[in-house]
């Protein structure tokens, strides 16, 4: 207490009575009378606020279950059965139950090439700074290579160029040249063919097609007997290279023109990476290009297109689209993952063959969702009962006992569920076996719900699943109707922004703030009161001290007078 009163540290020395112990006792008595009741009330408010917050949290979990049941999310759950191994299928919840057939004829494939063999990863492929052109599906980019670039450098440059093509070098372990460059288009589909113009570097052996002409008796034979000059052209990945072939031009001159760069594009650039020779009585042409390549030798005697086998042994897989029948309707896609055939359904083509798919309501997941609602609801009711309990024997009283916001809650939700009734028409048979139609009522009991006298829900899984197998539409209609009413009352009472419990929570917070302010004010009042009292005690003590001093002086004078007369 001494630190509360500054420098008044000698209080009570003179009187022996007016000290801090007296002030402390007086102040504590005032606090017990004037502050402690306020603190007790604040403590109760805080306990109620905490309990209310916990209850609203529990109720919010139940509301999530209710929303799923009211809005049909629970009954939108589906499962997928696949009979066959050619596909796997995933269906999103909400997809309409259905069956269909998928017969996979052909899987979508990537374009893949392998190069010829090289002695090592570090085999040099160019002695000068140069550029190659690479891409897929008509979209390509230039890739720059430095003088002395190796096979490994080329692979790295391709992978860093983001052209839609991936490069890998593999060690086959075969022979003196075991290293091969593998090029693979990143995407499947017939439009994603690899287009690679690498005429500026050493031959990679990616194009092993030998383009052959008709046969000639010698290289002095004429390739143009039309009577006029003609044009010979090669189209390489969309760029057309052409040259003039004069009337009567020989095979030898034709070959020399090709090898000397006479094939040019419209800008005058010669076609690089082409070589022609006369072997086995045929003009034979090789190209350091892969992709879309075509020859036009109209009115010439070469007939390259009719004499060439266009199968490239270095193309180890050809870009193809997926082909499959959907319920006997032929479908073509560039990928094996099909997401645009049936909304919400993903079909992954795995292998060729026929599969039957059945998308059906997932009764097990639906059942689990309802069981979860019952579990969460009963946890809420148990908490509610604790908050509103009254035990006359023990005297225990719940924090919200007698509060109508809580006491009416259970009966309200119970009425929403068990007072919901649906009329429907059913077929019955009389004693003679004759069928007739009659009206029937579908209720919560048909859903498998029951409630004991304490308000706890039970759920009969067998009864529910029997009802769902017979009347799936009725079950969903009942759930929508009943749980929409429960949701409405939940929002009104417990979980809405302006719900009764939300207003109660705000009221408790206001009361908590008010009582805290009252406690602070009362403590300040008592502090001021006893600060003043301490100062008064100090003043009284000083007066007593002065009187004591005067008394002592008088006593000394009297004693001196007595002593002088002895």
Higher pLDDT, 409 or 164: 164
- pLDDT recorded at residue 405: 80
CA torsion sign, 552 to 558 to 564 to 566?
negative
Pairwise CA distance, residues 58 & 68, whole Å: 16
The span from the CA of 114 to the CA of 125, in Å, is 16
Determine the pLDDT at residue 566: 63
The encoded tokens of residue 298 equal 């109209």
49-58, 349-358, 380-389, 519-528: range with highest mean pLDDT? 349-358
**Measuring CA to CA, how many Å separate 71 from each of 247, 480, 482?**
82, 6, 11
Task: Pick 555 or 112 by higher pLDDT.
Answer: 112
The residues near 406 (Cβ < 8 Å, ≥ 6 apart) are 384, 387, 388, 400
Contact predicate 154/167, CB 8 Å: yes
- DSSP letter at 271 equals P
pLDDT band at 347 (very low <50, low <70, confident <90, very high): very high
Q: Give residue-wise pLDDT tens across range 486-515.
A: 999 999 998 888 889 999 999 999 999 999
CA distance 155 to 167: 5
State the Rg of the chain over Cα: 49
Question: Model confidence over 166-219: pLDDT tens digits?
Answer: 999 999 999 999 999 999 999 999 999 999 999 999 999 999 999 999 999 999
Q: Inform me whether the pLDDT recorded for 63 exceeds 60.
A: yes
pLDDT band at residue 545 under the 50/70/90 scheme: low
Residue whose token pair is 């689990």? 368
pLDDT at 19: 61
Q: Extract the tokens encoding 303.
A: 């007939």
> Cα dihedral sign for 450, 456, 462, 466?
positive
**DSSP string covering 434-491:** -EEEEEEEE-TTTTTEEE-TTS-EEE-HHHHHHHHHH-HHHHHHHHHHHHHHHHHHHI
Determine contact, residues 472/456, Cβ cutoff 8 Å: no
- CA-nearest of 333, 351, 352, 353 to 342 is 333
223 CB contacts (<8 Å, ≥6 apart)?
Answer: 213, 245, 249, 250, 251, 254, 283, 300, 301, 302
pTM of the model: 0.71
- pLDDT of 397 over the 50 cut: yes
Across the range 27-33, mean pLDDT stands at 86
User: Kind of pairing, strands 112-114 and 315-317?
Assistant: antiparallel
Q: Is the pLDDT of residue 103 over 70?
A: yes
Amino acid 9: pLDDT: 43
Instruction: State the pLDDT confidence band at 414, using cuts at 50, 70 and 90.
Output: very high
Q: Is 90 exceeded by the pLDDT of residue 518?
A: yes
Q: How far apart are CA 207 and CA 205, in angstroms?
A: 5
Pair 462, 446: CB distance under 8 Å: no
pLDDT digits (tens, 9 = 90+) for 130-140: 999 999 988 99
Whether 15 shows a pLDDT value over 60: the answer reads no
Q: Are 260 and 238 in contact (CB under 8 A)?
A: no
Q: How confident is the model at residue 3 (pLDDT cuts 50, 70, 90)?
A: very low
Note the pLDDT tens digit of each residue in 227-272: 999 999 999 999 999 999 999 999 999 999 999 999 999 999 999 9
537-541 long-range Cβ contacts below 8 angstroms, 24+ apart: 537/11, 537/12, 537/18, 537/19, 537/22, 537/23, 538/8, 538/11, 540/15, 540/18, 541/10, 541/11, 541/12, 541/13, 541/14, 541/15, 541/18
Per-residue confidence (pLDDT) for residue 563, from 0 to 100? 75
48: phi then psi, degrees, rounded to nearest 5: -65, -40
pLDDT at 278: 98
Residue 18 — very low, low, confident or very high, per pLDDT cuts 50/70/90?
low
Instruction: Report pLDDT for 297.
Output: 97
Tens-place pLDDT, residues 444-480: 999 999 999 989 999 999 999 999 999 999 999 999 9
437: confidence class by pLDDT, cuts 50, 70, 90: confident
Q: What is the CATH number of domain 109-206?
A: 2.60.40
Task: Using pLDDT thresholds of 50, 70 and 90, give the confidence band for residue 5.
Answer: very low
Picking from 210, 194, 211, the residue whose alpha carbon sits closest to that of residue 132 is: 194
pLDDT score for 535: 76
Q: What is the pLDDT at residue 433?
A: 79
Tokens at 557, concatenated: 């004078």
Please state the domain extents for the chain: 2-34+504-564, 40-74+364-496, 78-105+326-361, 109-206, 207-312
Q: What is the mean pLDDT of the chain?
A: 91
The rounded distance, in Å, linking the Cα atoms of 26 and 17 is 13
In percent, the amount of the chain with pLDDT more than 70 equals: 94
Q: Which two tokens stand for residue 517?
A: 């302010």
Give the integer Cα–Cα distance in Å for 347 and 400: 56
| Angle in degrees, CA 490, 491, 495, rounded to 5 | 85
């Amino acid at each position: 207490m001494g630190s509360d009163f500054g420098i008044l540290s000698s209080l009570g020395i003179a009187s022996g009575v007016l000290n801090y112990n007296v002030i402390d006792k007086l102040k504590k008595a005032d606090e017990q009378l004037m502050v402690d009741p306020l603190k007790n009330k604040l403590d109760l408010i805080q306990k109620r606020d905490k309990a209310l917050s916990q209850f609203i949290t529990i109720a919010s979990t139940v509301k999530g279950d209710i929303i799923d049941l009211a809005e049909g999310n629970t009954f939108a759950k589906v499962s997928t059965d696949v009979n066959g191994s050619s596909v796997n299928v995933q269906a999103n919840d909400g997809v309409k139950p259905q069956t269909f057939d998928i017969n996979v004829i052909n899987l979508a494939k990537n374009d893949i090439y392998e190069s010829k063999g090289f002695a090592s990863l570090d085999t040099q492929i160019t002695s000068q700074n140069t550029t190659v052109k690479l891409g897929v599906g008509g979209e390509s980019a230039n890739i720059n290579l430095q003088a002395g670039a190796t096979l490994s450098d080329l692979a790295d440059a391709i992978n860093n160029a983001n052209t839609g093509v991936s490069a890998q070098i593999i060690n086959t372990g075969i022979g003196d040249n075991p290293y091969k460059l593998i090029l693979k288009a990143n995407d499947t589909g017939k439009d994603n063919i690899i287009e690679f113009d690498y005429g500026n570097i050493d031959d990679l052996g990616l194009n092993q097609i030998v383009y052959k002409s008709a046969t000639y008796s010698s290289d002095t034979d004429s390739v143009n007997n039309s009577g006029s000059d003609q044009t010979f052209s090669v189209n390489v990945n969309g760029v057309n290279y052409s040259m003039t072939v004069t009337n009567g031009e020989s095979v030898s001159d034709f070959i020399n023109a090709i090898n000397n760069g006479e094939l040019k594009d419209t800008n005058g650039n010669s076609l690089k990476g082409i070589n022609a020779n006369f072997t086995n009585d045929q003009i034979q042409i090789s190209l350091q290009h892969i992709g879309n390549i075509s020859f036009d030798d109209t009115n010439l005697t070469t007939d390259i297109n009719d004499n060439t086998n266009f199968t490239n042994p270095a193309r180890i897989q050809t870009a193809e689209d997926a082909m499959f029948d959907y319920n006997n309707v032929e479908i073509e896609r560039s990928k094996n993952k099909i997401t645009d055939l049936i909304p919400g359904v993903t079909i992954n083509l795995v292998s060729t063959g026929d599969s039957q798919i059945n998308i059906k309501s997932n009764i097990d997941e639906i059942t689990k969702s309802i069981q979860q609602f019952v579990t969460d609801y009963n946890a809420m009711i148990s908490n509610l009962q604790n908050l509103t309990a009254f035990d006359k024997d023990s005297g225990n009283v719940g924090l919200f006992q007698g509060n109508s916001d809580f006491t009416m809650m259970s009966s309200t939700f119970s009425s929403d569920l068990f007072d919901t009734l649906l009329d429907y028409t059913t077929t019955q048979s009389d004693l003679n076996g004759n069928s007739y139609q009659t009206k029937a009522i579908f209720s919560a009991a048909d859903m498998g719900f029951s409630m004991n006298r304490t308000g706890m829900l039970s759920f009969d899984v067998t009864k529910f699943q029997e009802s769902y197998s017979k009347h799936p539409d009725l079950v969903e209609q009942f759930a929508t109707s009943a749980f929409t009413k429960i949701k409405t009352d939940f929002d009104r009472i417990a979980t809405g922004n302006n719900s009764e419990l939300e207003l109660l929570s705000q009221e408790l917070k206001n009361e908590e703030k008010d009582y805290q302010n009252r406690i602070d004010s009362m403590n300040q009042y008592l502090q001021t009161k006893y600060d003043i009292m301490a100062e008064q005690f100090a003043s009284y003590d000083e007066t007593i001290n002065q009187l004591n001093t005067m008394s002592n002086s008088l006593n000394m004078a009297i004693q001196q007078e007595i002593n002088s007369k002895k």
